[in-house]
Amino acid sequence: MLNIGCHLSISKGFAHIGIEAKSIGANTFQFFTRNPQGGKAKELDSADVEKYNSYASENGFAPIVAHAPYTLNPCSDNPQTREFAQMVFADDLRRMSKIPHNYYNFHPGSHVGQGIEKGIEMIVDLLNSVMQQDQNTTVLLETMSGKGSEVGAEFNQLAEIISGVRLKEKMGVCLDTCHIFAAGYDIVHDLDSVMTEFDKNIGLSRLKAVHLNDSLMPFASHKDRHAKIGEGEIGQEALIRFINHPTVRKLPFILETPNDLDGYEKEIALMRKNYTA
């Protein structure tokens, strides 16, 4: 079975989001751990989370993906911004322990002119300071488009981050189809080679989740604009080939396309219909 869902809001709680996800044909979803501006997060309500956990197992849900706020930048040149990133990251990992065996995805960061190597070093430092031996959450680095001074637009940069982290067994990668296409990985014409390159650099066993998006911006544009499935430069056919690729087909797929619930429901149905069992 295809594991697919979309980005949803947890403002009404986890039990609610599980039912909402199922109502649109999803068996996974992604949520922001706190508002994207990164303010103080609400404590997770244990009873609500318990309800979700049993609903999810009864309904065959795949692992879910928590997304860190976009403002979190572990490799800022401002020490206060880095400190804030560390505080948010540690707090999110602590809160995630109530929903065990799921993923915490974050954008590696923007080095703001300090250079890729310096950026990678700071990201590694953050991870080594916040990750705990007993955490039950796998941390995912998201593949980026390379806009501005983003770190993580090349597979080797993600590999370098992972190699610097002490608790490597708790590290993985979330592949964003829009981002890697914009970064210059041709998943439309040469998917096999892209996945071979991923495997050579990072290792396919690190690949834990996919953000399934079309791209408004052209190949290798280094611009990050998501499009609905079939309304971008990647196209419906290539995205269908993608979900069926042997290297990714069992993973949770999360739509981050510009849609309301109705639109998500249609895209989920479209992908399910075109998934070869």
Quick one: what does residue 92 bind among Fe ion, Zn ion, none, with the CB cut-off 5 to 8 Å set by partner type?
none
Give the nearer residue to Zn ion in terms of CB position, either 98 or 208: 208
Quick one: what does residue 206 bind among Fe ion, Zn ion, none, with the CB cut-off 5 to 8 Å set by partner type?
none
Among 92, 224, 233, 267, binds Zn ion (CB under 5 A): 224
Give the nearer residue to Fe ion in terms of CB position, either 206 or 211: 211
Quick one: what does residue 211 bind among Fe ion, Zn ion, none, with the CB cut-off 5 to 8 Å set by partner type?
Fe ion
The residue count for binding Fe ion (CB under 5 A) is 3
Q: Does 214 bind Zn ion (CB under 5 A)?
A: no
Binding mask 110-149 for Fe ion (x = CB under 5 A): --------------------------------x-------
**C-beta of 17: minimal distance to Fe ion in Å?**
18
Quick one: what does residue 224 bind among Zn ion, Fe ion, none, with the CB cut-off 5 to 8 Å set by partner type?
Zn ion
- How far does Cα 277 stand from its chain's mean position? 24
Q: Does 226 bind Fe ion (CB under 5 A)?
A: no
Q: Does 211 bind Fe ion (CB under 5 A)?
A: yes
Residue 186 gets the label, from left (phi > 0), alpha (psi -120 to 50) or beta, of beta
Binding mask 166-195 for Fe ion (x = CB under 5 A): ----------x-------------------
For residues 127 and 165, the answer to whether their CB atoms sit within 8 Å is: yes
The residue count for binding Zn ion (CB under 5 A) is 1
Position of minimal CB gap to Fe ion: 211
* HEC readout, the chain: CCEEEEECCCCCCHHHHHHHHHHCCCCEEEEECCCCCCCCCCCCCHHHHHHHHHHHHHCCCCCCEEECCCCCCCCCCCHHHHHHHHHHHHHHHHHHCCCCCCEEEECCCECCCCCHHHHHHHHHHHHHHHCCCCCCCEEEEECCCCCCCECCCCHHHHHHHHHHCCCHHHEEEEEEHHHHHHHCCCCCCCHHHHHHHHHHHCCHHHEEEEEECEECCCCCCCCCCEECCCCCCCCHHHHHHHHCCCCCCCCEEEECCCCCHHHHHHHHHHHHHCCCC
Give the nearer residue to Zn ion in terms of CB position, either 138 or 213: 213
Give the nearer residue to Zn ion in terms of CB position, either 53 or 257: 257
Give the nearer residue to Fe ion in terms of CB position, either 53 or 215: 215
Residues forming contacts to Fe ion in the complex (CB under 5 A) are 142, 176, 211
Residues forming contacts to Zn ion in the complex (CB under 5 A) are 224
